[in-house]
Structure 1
Amino acid sequence: MRPVSPRASRPVIDPAPSKWRYRLERLWLTPLFRALVRTGIPSFGFVIAFTWYIHDEARLTAIIDTWEDAVSAVQDRPEFMVSLLRIEGASAELQDDIQEALPIDLPLSQFKLDMDALREKLVSLDPVLDAEVRVKAGGVLLLKVTERTPAVAWQTEEGIEVLDAGGHRVATLHNIATAGALPLIAGAGAETAVPEALTLVAAARPIDDRFIGLARIGNRRWDVVLTNGQSIALPEEAPVAALDRALAMHAAHDVLDRDVKVVDLRIPERPVLRLTPEARSELKGLQELQRLSLDHSEGTQ
């Protein structure tokens, strides 16, 4: 009998993987599964652990305090501190208004300054047309202001408002005498027609010695107010051209030097001259005298 070889008695191992191992290997070849195992599960575990850690209020407060202390330690360094305030382009009165409207407590870190909010606050002031806010070297907070230019004084029932060329309020006056050489306008809605009013003021320069101001009538048209109670009623359309015609009439016939109360040009094709009450009485008397003379002449014939 032939002896059996020890090698031949060993069981034969199948080299093929098992079904579960094959499925795991196939699953591992999927990119999404590998990303989930390598990144997703550790990240999810970290989130769970971090959430559990900060769930305690004391730990959360300590983390916030530590972070704020670290940020403040950097922001409050001397090279980042603003210690001086400079205002350029503003009058002394406006500077006082700015300092009152912007109560900035210096020194202060420039990281704690809201430049956009400061500029919006400056531009919201009536006398300010535009503003620039920036921090200069040496810890200087520069407020560069462009003031509105006063153009007219608008007389209302509440008082006297100084307006710029666009009709924006600049300041409030307590006395008309403080308006200086500013043209005077009056009437409801006059502030919305300041550009037209300035054009009329420029056109009225030939009679500047008797010019008082402009009155807005019905928020539609203008009356030119002159000395001695005279006025020129302008139409709603083309008021400058109508004013030029009135000035031409005056240059040719000295209309404003006569007993004329109103030069009415509201109907451009038919100008009307309204006399003063005294002139009307005198004219009426002359007409009555002329009528009596005519009756007397007819009676003697």
Structure 2
Amino acid sequence: MIGSNRKTSSGGRPRRRARPAWLAPVARWSAVVVVLTGVGGAVGWAIETGQVGAIWSTTVDGANRIAADAGLAVDDVLVTGRQETDPLVLLDVVGVERGTSILSLDLDAIRERVNALPWVKTARVERHLPDTLFIALTERRPMALWQRHGKLALVDEDGVVISDRKLGRFGALPIIIGEGAPERARDTIAMLASEPDLLTRVRALTWIGDRRWTVRLDDLQGGGIDVQLPENGAAAAWTQLGTMERDHGVLKRDVMIVDLRIPNQLIVRVTPAAAERATAPGKNT
């Protein structure tokens, strides 16, 4: 009976003393020593007899059973850093059953399988003796939606495709268009952030001719404005546009295209309706 102070059984024979708590870890480590010693001896004998394959397999299986019986068995899988990765998919990929000898786990193989999951950027896999498999995830950070062949795919900061399903909650991200756009978009989006007011209006970025960007802005009237950035000096051109918008409101005049490809120049093309109004009789042109 737990908690009882009785020292003898009903037959008068002394009860066995409870095993001290400190013996448990000692027993586990003793089992590890026994396992390693046994494996080492078996390897030596197998080499001498030429039966390496069969002896090694049998020895390792036996060693794993000893380790598991001694408490060195997986009882928990602890994961940190998981936000988007499906936990059931993750456990299935890890492929470790409760009760498996923790010493038998191939950590490199587990890490390789986990790293193959779409949301996982890097994974660290460790044994935490006596019974825990520890997995630390670094997940990918969504950067943009890549439009290709009429379909959208979510990409991260390195241009790696994460998923092309259930993208509704990522609708606020900018759309990038063109072959090679995902690999180049991170630095460009960071550059666009230098003008916060303009950044809030960015809807899409198109990689043109493998050399420059055209940025699609919301015109705040249900349409769009295409800003043609130069191949070189894009940051300076973008700053110039931000300054012109703050000082003169150039994007509030029925603008359709802003051409910044020529250094220190800003060429504006207005919508056909605005052009017609400007040339109508009685208007100053």
1:107 alignment partner in structure 2: 99
1:149 alignment partner in structure 2: 141
Distance 2:171 2:126 in 1: 36
Report if aligned partners of 2:230, 2:262 keep a CA contact under 8 Å in 1.
yes
Distance 1:93 1:86 in 2: 14
Counterparts in 2 of 1:225 and 1:50: CA distance versus 1, 3 Å = closer
Distance 2:257 2:58 in 1: 81
2:73 alignment partner in structure 1: 81
Q: What secondary structure is seen at the aligned counterpart in 2 of 1:79? A: coil
1:206 alignment partner in structure 2: 197
- Counterpart amino acid of 1:279? A
Q: Which segments of 5 or more consecutive residues in structure 2 lack a partner in the other structure? A: 1-47
Q: For 2:261, which of 255, 259, 266 is the aligned residue?
A: 266
Rg bigger for which structure?
A: 1
- Counterpart amino acid of 1:94? D
Report if aligned partners of 1:82, 1:106 keep a CA contact under 8 Å in 2.
yes
1:278 alignment partner in structure 2: 273
Range with bigger deviation, 100-109 or 60-69: 60-69
TM-score for the superposition, normalised by structure 1: 0.66
Range with bigger deviation, 85-94 or 270-279: 85-94
Distance 1:111 1:195 in 2: 42
Counterparts in 2 of 1:221 and 1:183: CA distance versus 1, 3 Å = same
Report if aligned partners of 2:229, 2:261 keep a CA contact under 8 Å in 1.
yes
1:40 alignment partner in structure 2: none
1:235 alignment partner in structure 2: 230
- Counterpart amino acid of 1:106? R
1:178 alignment partner in structure 2: 169
1:218 alignment partner in structure 2: 209
**Residue by residue, what CA displacement relative to the aligned partner does 1:6-63 show, whole Å, maximum 9, x if unpaired?**
xxxxxxxxxxxxxxxxxxxxxxxxxxxxxxxxxxxxxxxxxxx968xx8xxxxx9996
RMSD (Å) for aligned C-alpha atoms: 3.2
Report if aligned partners of 1:131, 1:145 keep a CA contact under 8 Å in 2.
yes
More helix by share: 1
Q: What secondary structure is seen at the aligned counterpart in 2 of 1:145? A: strand
Q: What secondary structure is seen at the aligned counterpart in 1 of 2:256? A: strand
Pairing 1:1-40 to 2, within 5 Å after superposition: none
**Residue by residue, what CA displacement relative to the aligned partner does 1:224-280 show, whole Å, maximum 9, x if unpaired?**
211222121101112111111112222222211112210101122443211211122
TM-score for the superposition, normalised by structure 2: 0.70
Identity %: 29
Cα offset, 1:157, TM superposition: 2.7
Report if aligned partners of 2:142, 2:155 keep a CA contact under 8 Å in 1.
yes
- Counterpart amino acid of 1:88? T
4+ runs deviating over 6 angstroms = 60-66
1:34 alignment partner in structure 2: none
Q: Which segments of 5 or more consecutive residues in structure 1 lack a partner in the other structure? A: 1-48, 55-59, 292-301
Cα offset, 1:213, TM superposition: 2.8
Number of equivalenced pairs: 234
Range with bigger deviation, 73-82 or 118-127: 73-82
Distance 1:148 1:281 in 2: 49
